[in-house]
Structure 1
Amino acid sequence: MSHPGIPSFNETNSAEMVAQRLLKARAGPLPRFLATVVDHLHQIVRETRPTASEWREAIAFLTEVGHASDEKRQEWVLLSDLLGVTALVEDINSRRPKGATPNTGRGPFYRPDAPRLPLGANLSLDGAGTPLVVSGLVTDLDGLPIAGATVETWQANSQGFYENQQPDLQPEFNLRGVFTTDEEGRFHYRTVKPAGYRVPDDGPVGHMLSRLNYPLNRPAHLHFLIRAENFETLTTQLFERGDPRLGEDALFGVKPELVGDFNRVSGKDPESWALDFTFVMVMARKGSRAA
């Protein structure tokens, strides 16, 4: 028995019917966001036309991701990272004018309690690795130096592990530090060359993408978080020119403006390297992330 005025759910109107129910709610922007997600999800189903069995397999994968996530491991974040969604959200929310240093994701290994150190300090507390001297200049878009900027930095060691991944093998706060730029907007410190690494692949996300031969490696990089009064906070990473993995960064963090030259220091024995890089910040605008 049909009921006049009651629409019949079908392939053509499926997303619209769900959206109508969502948009009846008056709960801020969430209903409209979900309606957009539903629209795209239904479009994917219409285009790919999975069987019921294939859809149950997809649901089983998402269930595995949920079961693998806890306070110590976030498989959902890993999935977002590896599918480029995290990088896309960051790009949308941190548009910078031409000439400014671009933002990248902070990553999961940041610690907000790293020690404040004097310029020239050595971040390598265990001395393991090839020495690297890092020098930096922080300026505005006009090239004027920014004195008194706070520069936080952290990195993996020469085996590709962060200190908080190996609390029993590395000294606490190894390869981490906070510096303040001098009157000329400069900072410098000693460390070791970081190594690239493979993102966690022992969970459902890694297993699934490994079967597809999907790139799961990160090139070697250094993290920076720079704050200065009246400027937008800059969170970024620096990569070594010539690293063979630059074009396949698993987290899509590599941008041409973030590739630097790691130069061999001549006459040094043992081997030593140096990196000098200029970070360009932009003035804070209304609604932007200021320091």
Structure 2
Amino acid sequence: MTETAATTVSAEQTGREQALTEKVLASFERTPDARLRQLMQSLTRHVHEFVREVRLTEEEWNTAIEFLTAVGHITDEKRQEFILLSDVLGASMQTILVNNPADGDATEATVFGPFFVEDAPEIPLGGDISGGAPGQPCWVEGTVVDTEGAPVPGARIEVWEADEDGFYDVQYTDDRVAGRAHLFADERGRFRFWGLTPTPYPIPHDGPVGQMLAATDRSPVRAAHLHFMVTAEHCRTLVTHIFVEGDPQIEIGDSVFGVQDSLIKRFEQQPAGTPTPDGRDLAGRTWARTRFDVVLAPAA
């Protein structure tokens, strides 16, 4: 007899279930692509084991299919519910960890998220990515170097973030471009730009993923963060965020498990009237500043 969390299963029943698993595994043996064969057989083993371990009911399986169908229906060119699902299950972050192994003091990677957009506008060094989006101005500066400490001149730096209301530009209906841009590091690997001080915000939770989080008593809120993607020749592409030191949501929990201790940075608040690094006139507003030094791992 096999003991499970749900019930006791007879040896005869266990044999029948295992025989089915073996039959499905065998059906993939002729797959020409070895990697695809490995993926399909491993997926089969894990799915079958899950069904058997929890003694999944037919009603529960039908509910799961309805849930995935709803995830597909709400997905469109501006909303990717499947990415949200992957994120909140930690699958996105686990994939990032597997594909970005530790390499000296290389900057840690984290989740890509669903709000990256190709062809963001280019800004000069010291430019402003906000595009008029609401929020506290924030000066961001740093360097890009490799794991040997050598500067990476010309590294392309993509940056994107939500506004202080918790929305990315693509979540609005007026086709605005705000809170995103790209720029290039100078000959010494240095970069600088104006953005917005990040604030916590909820991931879209008016759909099936949000319903799942509510049913499991989980918060949809992300810790405050600023997205980066840094690319350079002969270096591994880095997709990461920086997070705000002191943000209470870090302790509560980031809904997509993206926080790494090394990525938590101090955002120093500056009183109104404090001179800015580039002489910008902020009309008496407060502002913040932070530093993020990027270390790129060598390309595989």
| Structures share fold, TM-score greater than 0.5 | yes
Deviation at 1:9, TM superposition (A): 7.2
Give 1:274's match in structure 2, choosing from 289, 293, 300.
289
3-state SS, counterpart of residue 187 of structure 1: strand
Deviation per CA, 1:146-172, whole angstroms, max 9, x where unpaired? 22211111111111111121142xx83
- The amino acid of 2:102's aligned partner reads R
- The amino acid of 2:25's aligned partner reads A
Unmatched 5+ stretches in structure 2:
1-13, 275-283
The 8 Å contact of residues 159 and 194 in structure 1, kept in 2 or not, is answered as no
The aligned counterpart of 1:49 is 55
Deviation at 1:99, TM superposition (A): 0.8
Cα distance between partner residues in 2 of 1:270 and 1:69: 39
Deviation per CA, 1:85-140, whole angstroms, max 9, x where unpaired? 11111211121313110112222211221122111112223263211111111111
Deviation at 1:145, TM superposition (A): 2.0
The aligned counterpart of 1:74 is 80
- Tell whether 2:244 aligns with 1:244: no
Cα distance between partner residues in 1 of 2:285 and 2:167: 23
The aligned counterpart of 2:270 is 265
The equivalences for 1:127-142 within 5 A come to: 128-142=134-148
The aligned counterpart of 2:261 is 256
Give 2:114's match in structure 1, choosing from 95, 108, 113.
108
The aligned counterpart of 1:204 is 208
The 8 Å contact of residues 232 and 283 in structure 1, kept in 2 or not, is answered as yes
3-state SS, counterpart of residue 226 of structure 2: strand
The 8 Å contact of residues 159 and 228 in structure 2, kept in 1 or not, is answered as yes
Deviation at 1:52, TM superposition (A): 2.8
3-state SS, counterpart of residue 152 of structure 1: strand
The equivalences for 1:119-130 within 5 A come to: 119-126=125-132, 128-130=134-136
Deviation at 1:194, TM superposition (A): 2.5
TM-score for both structures, normalised by structure 1: 0.87
The 8 Å contact of residues 138 and 145 in structure 1, kept in 2 or not, is answered as yes
Percent identity, please: 38
Cα distance between partner residues in 2 of 1:72 and 1:192: 23
The aligned counterpart of 2:65 is 59
Deviation at 1:235, TM superposition (A): 1.3
Deviation at 1:270, TM superposition (A): 2.3
Deviates more, 1:78-87 or 1:141-150: 141-150
3-state SS, counterpart of residue 12 of structure 1: helix
Cα distance between partner residues in 2 of 1:282 and 1:139: 9
Deviates more, 1:178-187 or 1:72-81: 72-81
CA gap 1:206/1:183 in 2 versus in 1, 3 angstroms: same
Deviation at 1:83, TM superposition (A): 0.4
Count of residues in correspondence between the two structures: 276
Deviation at 1:16, TM superposition (A): 1.5
Unmatched 5+ stretches in structure 1:
1-7, 286-291
Q: CA RMSD in A?
A: 2.1
CA gap 1:149/1:273 in 2 versus in 1, 3 angstroms: same
Deviation at 1:187, TM superposition (A): 0.9
Q: Flag as ranges the 4+ runs of structure 1 deviating above 6 A.
A: none
